[in-house]
Amino acid sequence: MVHVVLSGGSGKRLWPLSREHFPKQFLKLYGEQSLFGLALKRLKSPHAKFLVVCNEAHYFHALEEIAKAKLEERTQFLLESAGKNTMNALILAALSCESEEILVISPTDHLMDQEAFNEALKTALECAKANQMLLFGIAKKPSNQYGFVRCAPVQNGVYEVLDFIEKPNPEEIAKLQQEGGDFYINSGMFVFKAGVFLQACMQHAPQMLEACKKVHHHAKKLPAILKCANMEELEEGSVDICLWQKCKGLKLIPLDAHWQDVGHFASLQASLPADGAGNVAHNNPLLPLHAKNNYTYATPDKLVCLLGLENCVVVDSKDALLVATKAHLDGLKALVACVGEEYPQLLKTYPLQYRPWGSFEVLLEHPFFKVKLLEITPHKRLSLQRHQHRSEHWVVVEGVASVVVGKQSLSVPTNESVFIKQGQIHRLGNDTNEPLKILEVQCGEILDENDIERLQDDYKRP
């Protein structure tokens, strides 16, 4: 069995929390737990293998979560050069596995009861052994919030899928209820043998299959990594539209597991504890007065005060503020598109940026100087590097830094500093078991990440 973990989304409906370079599945939305980490915990079993499908830019985020779950030895990565929706991701995943291998397809933006999921999975695996393809469905009356599947019972709790209904409007809902049938939310979780799935693709989507075969054939194969290039040329499409709606014989297993799709702020709010008036303060102190059913997010040291506000979302990140009524959240993607035209950088990164060695936050920025706070994870180090256009001054504010400057190797404790001249070879690391924090002051005419010449790098970055 292979758990195929789909982690290719950018989470635009959770902007400004979610950004292209650090999307929602990696955000610590539940204490120290991310949606990606919770998915791994739910799927973890003694002998299962893992195949993580994600954007190449998110590899180190996913690797960190895999390492935290102690799954490195059982995990392969399929890195996409461009996101082309679920159909291409699943074809490439199936091509990467043995024909008889059973694949369990799981997105990373769901919450559910682990025990109930495992019980439903047992039934699904037995059906998959008999060459059936299965979808987990969530019982719910038709609404315009989800795509639905109409089913008919077969036997032993397994249903046959009759048709798919994309987010129906009120008239379609009324018609569906008159026609009758059992309705389930399409959860996006599937179970099938790799070879059975590819056979269905050959019948119903041969061109997409052939295009993916070419990408897979030319992919760069590294230990535990398959890097797929030139995906920009693939036809985009979801597996629901490109395959399932054309495919006969798809089965459904009901999943009664308190399932939640954390895809937008209303569902994120529903997954968190609220006060007596339905207000959720996600990360910040909150003082509401005559305020009901609101979601707020801000830095832990910022008090948010709500007066007379109802059914609203207030998200205060370090570089953007979103205030919206829940009734208009469907328009967030359109708003994000406008932000992308006017302020494209606000869709990509935060002032706080994550790296394989830790993170850095821009505290102050002017034309000829910049101040950053760097946090280096224990036993990690930056690349051996130099800069052509800037000098740097490092002040250790917490921990002990291991520093290379030219031919010197230094141990720099808290409250001491090091100066790096323009063009000087240098490296910063943390050889201890404790956190390391560095205040970095850059001075020069060019102060961006392009002015880094990496001479040696533990993470094989260019």
Q: What is the pLDDT of residues 403-443, one digit of tens each?
A: 999 999 999 999 999 999 999 999 999 999 999 999 999 99
Q: β-strand 304-307 against 286-289: which pairing, if any?
A: parallel
Number of Cα atoms under 13 Å in the Cβ half of residue 144:
6
* Extents of the domains making up the chain: 2-134+186-247, 270-342, 352-456
Query: Closest Cα to residue 151, out of 168, 136, 163?
Result: 163
Type of residue at 266: A
- What is the Cα–Cα distance from 190 to 183, expressed in whole angstroms? 17
CATH of domain 352-456: 2.60.120.10
The mean pLDDT of 273-279, rounded to a whole number, is: 96
61 contacts 22 by C-beta, under 8 angstroms: yes
CATH fold for domain 2-134+186-247: Spore Coat Polysaccharide Biosynthesis Protein SpsA; Chain A (3.90.550)
Token pair of 302 as six digits: 């910022």
Amino acid 462: pLDDT? 63
Between 172 and 188, name the one with better pLDDT.
Answer: 188
Amino acid 15: pLDDT? 95
Amino acid 143: pLDDT? 64
137-to-9, 178, 183, 256, 290 alpha-carbon distances in Å = 21, 21, 9, 9, 39
Amino acid 459: pLDDT? 85
Token pair of 305 as six digits: 């005060």
Cα angle 399, 458, 47; round to 5: 100
Q: What pLDDT band is residue 194 in, cutting at 50, 70 and 90?
A: very high
324 contacts 332 by C-beta, under 8 angstroms: yes
In three-state secondary structure terms, 335 is: helix
Q: What is the pTM of this model?
A: 0.86
Which span out of 60-69, 173-182, 388-397 was modeled with the highest average pLDDT?
Answer: 388-397
Lowest-confidence pick of 127-131, 155-159, 210-214, 364-368: 155-159
- What is the Cα–Cα distance from 261 to 187, expressed in whole angstroms? 8
299-to-191, 222, 282, 319 alpha-carbon distances in Å = 40, 40, 9, 12
The mean pLDDT of 291-318, rounded to a whole number, is: 95
